[in-house]
Structure 1
């Protein structure tokens, strides 16, 4: 068992003021993996105070972008130096297969490198503007927003931390990071890495703890200027309410129920591959998972059969075992949620094609077979609500207009995908899909350079790219009167 008895506050490892700890379990066998310090309200006060001092009095926001970039690059190097160790830790903490975890750790390092480049460009960001008869000269500058709170989910523990920490540091902010209580271990390792990289004390503080305690105290804290959250719609709504009281800057990346439209001229092998990648990657525990598949009717029977055949071939097991491509769900609670959704879907009249059960050979841990449903009633929870598991719903359509109507008939609008050999049709459909992210002839590729976020109830704002950096910057205009003549409005 691992012990993580301390919180990272003001560059130091401190025991929680309450003396409280919580347990973290290995989802592959339900064994106790670690005991972790549980931050409470007093610890949140300490961490926010440290971040406040680091921002208001410290050097970090006053360094040049090039100087901050150097620290971010050392953080990236520190992650890469421990890539194998961190990947194994993610597997044991989250359950995902090792190749996925290795991909995630490499992405996290790349994210810090990307924002290092953007930090360096901030040095040249002032934009002079000549106005009117040149009596005035104005410039537009961008400055860090202040102290940010980041609350991240359990499905991509280190990567989701990087998506928020890297742009915040690049902008010159100080931050308090609250990882999920289900998967806090890699965030604590990130604290060690940033410390070794020379980040000044207090600029990044890491507080594992329960959402109802540490998370609530953090987002409500008056010393926080900015809240960045990734998670469920209900929690995001509560954060909006808390932020509204003090009109705090927020960005929210919430749920999804993303559609994947497959036209009849698609290559069936490519379609099945991308459908599987879109729903079985990370056990379907992905906010953007393309869990609603719409297939043109003439292709529908053949695609269902091929998808069922291939889904049943996926090797399920402990993510550290060679060849495993589907690990366990993250927790007992998540297993219950997914199992309940499957049972209710059958009761609602959806046709179960394959899966839907715990694998017979996996009697420990929180495993679920890859599950395919067809002919799913459009008003049932299985079709309309986020399941966050390896469960895909497949329905037929007859026309492009019908496909778009079905795809857009959702309270969510995070992502969508379309597949066809007719690229003009793909582009037309992509423009009409109500989503912040649209993939053509693929599903799920994500790049640090491109914006990530959704419309409708899928959230507010965008992460990644320059849009992610803008989350942590305020824009200021500075206007100077330059004319040698008096203004002469009141005094002649």
Structure 2
């Protein structure tokens, strides 16, 4: 079963071959805009997990022996193929995930950038030579690939998040077992097909679709799996770490965020408001680095709110396949219920709905929720504490820089933060003071292939992107030679 006119993988990739799951088990992928079935996808069993580990172990032996220039060539060709297939990949992504086609195209092109960037980094994994204590000794330090990597990605960016793990791992010489989210497996499988078409040896990458809850303990416990990378929620990250503790498997985690935006009175208030609206409601608010708490210096609060609401009114809700759509449906029913709870909770303790606050009219099916603006939100409201992952924007105020930083750092998250000001001293003081792995000043485009993406506190550890990203997939070997 498939609603697509183009070929889309829907099986497991084991040993270089697309194959049904053991026992022919499957699950159904649903279109969040219509709540209708999209495709039937293989549901991996325990036997399939074991087969993936065995095949990846062989694949690692092949790929680690492949020289860096050849690894670079395969990754570069993958980037080219992804760009060539941008329209097909974007259509599949929008159909299973819900985001507008323009956003799906942008994600697909950003995914190609990951393979382009790591095509270069594959040839630049530098070691060093250190003089020893005497003239007859040399110390060599080099980075070697960790081994078989289990990569778990979530559903909000099904091409990009998986590729932030796959690209650096392959560049380093590792083999990869990819486990995409059940909501959005098809996009990830299309990226994997591009890797195969680019010449990647089949056993170097495996894909397992289905229940990550069943598969993760098996993969983590497998002696051949030496590294686990996860993008997901804090509870899932904690479960992964507990399982990894038993086998002492290395883990890197990107666990989401609750990014503060500090808008100082000297900023270009209208421009800041419009940038914030575009970033906040991208992907219906389902972005881990999304600006999600807006704090405006008191003299500028009314002006900012006025422009923010006006820009939100201009957004058009609809099916992501409609070119006029700015905001598509939420990806699943859980997120829709969560959005309704966040608004009801904030209203119950004194917040006001300046715009939205309900499901939009005219959509008998689909997980749609109106882009919503809240004002006067108490600091104790759920939306100010928990990661919202919804198209709901709370606006608050601050008086001084110290007050702003206290509010910005009041959650357990520390992924991203944003600052708007014309004053250079304020820009540095605020960016230094925000407890986050990433801070953007006067813009929102914080995620890019050439820069390290990751957080602090309960947003996780490890970095994806930049020169730092490849190092998470290597270990350091030191060799001492007496001449």
Task: Specify the TM-score bucket, using the shorter chain as the normaliser.
Answer: over 0.9
Counterpart of 1:23 in structure 2 is: 28
Give the equivalent residue in structure 2 for 1:92: 95
Which residue of the partner structure matches residue 293 of structure 1? 294
Question: What residue number does 1:39 align with?
Answer: 44
Query: Which residue number in structure 1 is paired with residue 5 of structure 2?
Result: none
Secondary structure of residue in 1 paired with 2:203 = coil
- In 1, Cα distance between the equivalents of 2:340 and 2:393? 13
Once the two structures are TM-superposed, the CA of residue 238 in structure 1 deviates from its matched residue by 0.5
Q: Distance in 2 between matches of 1:388 and 1:413?
A: 15
For 1:175, the equivalent position in structure 2 comes to 176
Number of the residue aligned with 1:488: none
Does the CA contact (< 8 Å) of 1:357 and 1:369 recur in 2?
yes
Shift of 1:481: 0.8
1:327 maps to what in 2? 328
Q: Deviations 1:261-299 (Å, cap 9, x if unpaired)? A: 001111122111121123111111001111100001111
Q: Which stretches in structure 1 are left out of the alignment for 5+ residues? A: 483-492
1:329 positional shift: 0.4
Q: Is the Cα–Cα contact under 8 Å of residues 39 and 213 in structure 1 kept in the other structure? A: no
CA contact (8 A) 2:59 2:205 kept: no
Give 1:5 deviation, angstroms.
Answer: 4.8
Residue 315 of structure 1 and its aligned partner are, at CA, apart by 0.7
Question: Can you list the C-alpha shifts for 1:229-257, whole angstroms capped at 9, x where unaligned?
Answer: 00100000010111111211110000211
Normalized against structure 2, the TM-score is what?
A: 0.97
CA distance in 2, matches of 1:201, 1:302: 57
Tell me how far apart the structure 2 counterparts of residues 238 and 60 of structure 1 sit (CA, whole Å). 30
Match 1:66 to one of 60, 66, 69: 69
Give the 3-state SS of the residue equivalent to 1:164 in structure 2: helix
The match for 1:153 is 154
The answer on whether the counterparts of 1:173 and 1:472 sit within 8 Å (CA) in structure 2 is yes
Q: Residue 122 of structure 2: SS of its match in structure 1?
A: helix
Deviations 1:361-416 (A, max 9, x none): 22221111111111111122111101101111111111111011111111100000
Larger deviation: 437-446 or 216-225?
A: 216-225
User: Once structures 1 and 2 are overlaid, which stretch shifts more, 438-447 or 137-146?
Assistant: 438-447
- 1: CA distance between counterparts of 2:217 and 2:43? 13
CA distance in 2, matches of 1:138, 1:223: 29
Secondary structure of the structure 2 residue equivalent to 1:120: coil
SS in 1 for 2:411: coil
Q: Any gaps of 5 or more consecutive residues in structure 2?
A: 3-7
Distance 1:220 1:264 in 2: 53
Instruction: State how many pairs are aligned.
Output: 478
TM-superposition CA deviations, 1:61-98 (whole Å, max 9, x none):
01111111011111112211211110111111111111
Matches within 5 A, 1:311-322: 311-322=312-323
**Residue pair 1:25, 1:93 contacting (<8 A) in 2 also:** yes
Structure 2 residue matching 1:396: 3-state secondary structure: strand
Q: Which runs of 4+ in 1 moved over 4 A?
A: none
8 A Cα contact 2:10 2:189, kept in partner: no
**1:309-361: per-residue Cα shift (whole Å, max 9, x none)?**
22122011111112211111001222112222222222232221111111112
Within 5 Å, give how 1:44-59 maps onto structure 2.
44-55=49-60, 58-59=61-62
Q: After the TM superposition, which residues 44-443 of structure 1 pair with which residues of structure 2 at under 5 Å, given as runs? A: 44-55=49-60, 58-122=61-125, 125-443=126-444
Matched residue of 1:259: which SS? strand
**1:187 and 1:206 in contact (8 A); partners too:** no
**Segment drifting more, 340-349 vs 104-113:** 340-349
User: Does the 8 Å contact 1:277/1:444 carry over to 2?
Assistant: no
CA contact (8 A) 2:150 2:227 kept: yes
Q: Residues 165 and 239 from structure 1, CA distance in 2 versus in 1: closer, same or farther, beyond 3 angstroms? A: same
Separation in 2, partners of 1:225, 1:133: 36
**Structure ID, larger Rg:** 1
